[in-house]
Structure formats: structure tokens, C-alpha cells
Structure 1
Amino acid sequence: MRTAVRRARRAGATLAAVLTWAGLVGGLAGCDSGGAFGKPHSPEELIRVTPDDAGRNVKADEPLRVEVAEGRLESVEVVRVQDAREEPVAGRLEDDGTRWRPTGPGADRLTLAAKYTVDAVAVDGDGRRMARHTTFTTSVPDERFIGYVTPENRATVGTGMIVKLEFNREIENRAAVERGVRIRSRPAVEIAPHWFGKTRLDFRPQRYWKPGTQVTVDLDLRDVEAARGVYGLQHKSFSFTVGRSQISVVDAAEHTMEVRRNGALVDTLPITAGAPRSTTYNGRMVVTEMLDVTRMNSRTVGFGGEYDIPDVPHAIRLTDSGTFLHGNYWSGGAFGSSNVSHGCVGLRDVKGGSSLTPAGWFFDRTLIGDVVEVKNSADKKVAPDNGLGGWNMEWGAWKAGAAAGS
């Protein structure tokens, strides 16, 4: 059984630290029907995190703390990401397990221009275990802009990784900013930019990266004027390595997922996908986050109060809008025979998660940047800006999204 909240494997990491609007959707999780659950306290009621989830422009002097209303905290992990570098925040639990506080030098102040993630597991007064995952971002001076980069520095990623920059301010002079970003690879391939609106700039090659490719991201944004009176801060380089190729194809009609490693079939796993009223997106999606355990609440993804599952195991995020491939311990014999979820892809698991189940097996063999492709679902193709969905756009259309004159 797993007791950790999550592995340190996710693509939320980044350049100066936070995904602006992505921080707003970072808490979205949820898809599968909940089955017959009781009415425990919600994780938000049990585990109280300060600053608030999805908070932006948090001041440096705001306190950072994690508390429980009853019961005790089992574990707390706080990570600060700044300039695409991830660093754990030291802290300690009080002896009675009701409160966590940061410790060490600078414990009374937050770092500016950074993203913080808080992962906590607690047991309430009735012995029920719950997990909470929150994020917040600290403030950046008003006259400056920052780009927050995915993936994190020195990461090893799957072949489907797309380099994403989220800017904390709207970019009016997109051509100038685009020219300030250089992506290099070894072996060399053409890497093209594409803008999604005024705050997001993605880069990818025409086809998936070749395993073993070394990629370097150079940011020369210092003093680049992005909008009138708003200038860049960053002059830095980051790098990541492309690992082995793993592409998994979900057939929603056959209720199976074929897992291929470096082109060879490794296994075929029984799955359950979206039910007829809540089908799963078709198309190619990229793993952006991996959580050992998380809460899935239907209200966060527009399904009303249909389910609230506080301990979903082996949760692998595929879209920003809340599509996951995750462990499922409540759907009985649906795997391989019927589609019963609210849009996610479910793999058989047990409560608490186990490495011996199909979900645990797949989780242990997955990297951020791996590709999961869904076919034969009665739904539309996933949008190219929903998560790292850019592989669903033809190369010509992708290149047409560069800034004029860049």
C-alpha cells in the first residue's frame, strides 16, 4: 500500500514558478462515478491550508501553515518551484499532529515569484483518510513579467513532452517575447512555437521527440518589453532529457488499453472509460501530473454533486479540465466490459492503492510526458490547449500560430 501523498513527478514545475491561470485549474480532479460512499468531512473542511488554494499574488509576509480541524495529519509535503527548480520546504508537525509549520532560515516569509504546492494526508476523528492537494503563487513586481516553464529543470520526460511557457501578464508584443525564447535539441530537429492567446506559448517538434534527446530552453527575456511599461526579468537556461518512448492507446469501445514501450507491446490492460452521458475525449493527451492519492469532486468539473471521492489512488492527469487516468476501486466488474466513468479512464485498483494492481503497475512505469491516446469514444477530440494537447494539431496549423515577423 502507498502512504505518500504524491511522487515528485509532475509538470507543474517551472520557470519562475507558477502557472498563472493553470493554478486555477490545478485543483480540478474528477471523473468517475462515486458509487456508494458515506458523507465524510470534505478534505477542505478537514485539512486547512493557508494561503488559500489557487491563490495568486500572495504577499511574502503571509503565513504558511497546514492544520486539521480534528484527527491528525499523517504527512505534509510542501514544494517551492522557482526558475524551473524544485525545492522542498522544511517543516515539522506539532507533537499532537494537528498542525504543520515551516522551519529553518526564512521560515516566516514566502519567496516572491514562486509557485508553492502543498500535499497533505490526514485521518479524521472517525479514522477516515483524506488527501488534499493545493497550490498558490506569490507576487511579482507590477512592472515585470515572468514566464513559467514546463517541464522542470533536469527532468527526464516522455517523448510527448511539449515545452510550455505561461506568462503572468498578457503579452502584447508577442514577436519580441517569442524571439527571447530559444529551444535547442541534440540531436537537432525543427522546433516551432505556437501561441494560445496572450499568456501561453508552447514549443514542439513535428513528431514526438526521439528517446535520448537532450533539450535546452534558453530564456533571454530580461528587459524585453512585453506590453507598455512591462519588462522581462529572466536570463536563464534550463534543460531536460527525453527518456524511453511509451505510448498507450485506449480503445473506449473495446474497453482496453495497449501499452507500447519503444514500439513493442508490453501489455493490454482492461479499462473503463466515460459512460454514454459523460464520454472521454478522443485524441492524444500527455501526462502532466502524477499523484499517489487525490480527491475527486464532481463539482469541480461541472457534474454537480454526483460524487466526492477523497482517496482516488494512482491519479495521472491528462488534461487541465480534469481528465485523469487513475486507479478505481469502486466500479466492480466494469473493467474490460463497460464504460461507467464521468470522462476519466479507470484501471482496476484497491482502496489505498497497490503496486500489484493494473493501476499501480501502470503508474510505476509512467513518466511525465508520456502519451495516452484515446480512440473510438463518442466524444470530440481534445483541444490542443487543454493540457499538453498540441499533438492534436497538424504541423502546418501549429507553425501558423507563431507570432508574425518572428
Structure 2
Amino acid sequence: MSHSSRTSRVAGCTLVVIALGAGVTACSSDGNPLSATPYDAAEQISFNGPTKAGKKADPDKPLEVTAEGSEGRITDVTATDAAGRHVSGELSADGLRWHSTSPLAANAHYTVRVSTEDDDGAPGRRVVTFDTGKPRTTKRLNVTFGPQAGKYGVGQPITADLNQPVKDKAQRAIVERGLKVVSSPVVDGSWHWVDDKKLHYRPKDYWPVNATIQVRSNLDGIKISDRLWGGTAKPLKITTGDRIVAVADGAS
């Protein structure tokens, strides 16, 4: 927002009057402007999403947040959808522009929380919500996890079967980031592409004894390529039993 400030000394504190129809103090009782109640930065911040009720944002386009005028800057932006998925982004060095670096999901509801700071160091806030529309294609990447729910040995891999082939390296990276494997106790592991439509996930060594492993996909509605979007996947939960490892010499 473009606002002019008028200051006066009141009980050792600076009072800043902002042209939003109301005055807010620019410092707290301890005289620190950073601990003041945030002002409404609605007129200071703009974004490239829809501004009319009922309109939906194009999930093909990145999200952009811009500081208007010359009396403030953006300090932080947090964007999440209703499923709790965060949108990665980059803030320019001058604090005047933030843009998303990870794709938006289609048919999703987003909440964007923007933090600002004016020239006097007073903090501002703006919260924006919007919905994204449908993808321009009906081609969806659905995932089927395996094995079936149950108890397995500590060497059991997790499998992910895709209904569409994925060959491009960058697109494969999007798929891998969207397939989540969480074990208790925690162990490190990674996905390996068996072919264009199948992945295996294995721990770095073995699964822990009596572990619980949960698998889910965060790809639903996520753009993978211009003609392919993430689809549905049923989550999976398996457990491990005692550790029994047999070692054989293939040569003999």
C-alpha cells in the first residue's frame, strides 16, 4: 500500500497513522516496532490470482506476490493447500517480489500468508485465499502401491505402479518427491525406477525390526507435464517382523 506516515511522541512511543481509515501504533509498550501488532497490508500487496468471487486461478501459471509502492517490502510468504501441501517459492533480494517455484495443484484451495515490513520497521500481514481450476488435460497419473497391507520381512521393498509411463528425468523427479514413505523407527531410503511405469523403494540397509511403514502420494492435482497431472492413490501401511537374513554365495 502506498501510505504516508505522520509521527508524534506519545508516552515515549512513535505513533504511525496509516491511510487505511485507521491508525495503528508502530511500536509496542517496550518501544520495539518489530513487536507491534501487524497492520493490514491489503493495499500494499498484490498477487496474480483471481480477484472476483467465483473465479479460479490457472494451475498452469506460477503464483506471484508483489509489493506495491516504495514504502514497504515482503519479508515472508507461506502458501499451503487444504491438504497441508506447501508451495515452494523464492523472494527477491529487494523484497518486492515472491514467486512460486513448485507447481500449484489443480482443483485445490490455497491460503497465502504474506508478511511485510514498512520503512519504519512495523510489521504488516495479508492473508489471501483462492481456488485453482481444472487441468487442461484429462490424462491423470494414478499410482498403486504394493505389497498388500500385512507383515513382511525387513528386506521387503515398497512398489509403486503407474498407469502412465514417465520417461523424462525432471518429470520423474516430480513423481519421486510426491511419493512419501515414512517408517517408525525412521530410516533413510530412496526410490529406484525399475522401468517407465514401476518404482521400488528400499531402505539404505534393512527396515528396522517390528517397524511400521506408511506410504502415500501427494501427487493428486500436481502438474507433471503439459499433458499429465497427478491422480489418485490409495495409501498403504505395512509392518515388519523379526529380522531373518540368509546369505548365499551365487558362485557356489
TM-score by length of 2: 0.41
| Bigger CA radius of gyration | 2
Higher relative contact order (CA 8 A, sep 6+): 1
TM-score by length of 1: 0.26
Report which of the two has the higher share of helix. Answer: 1
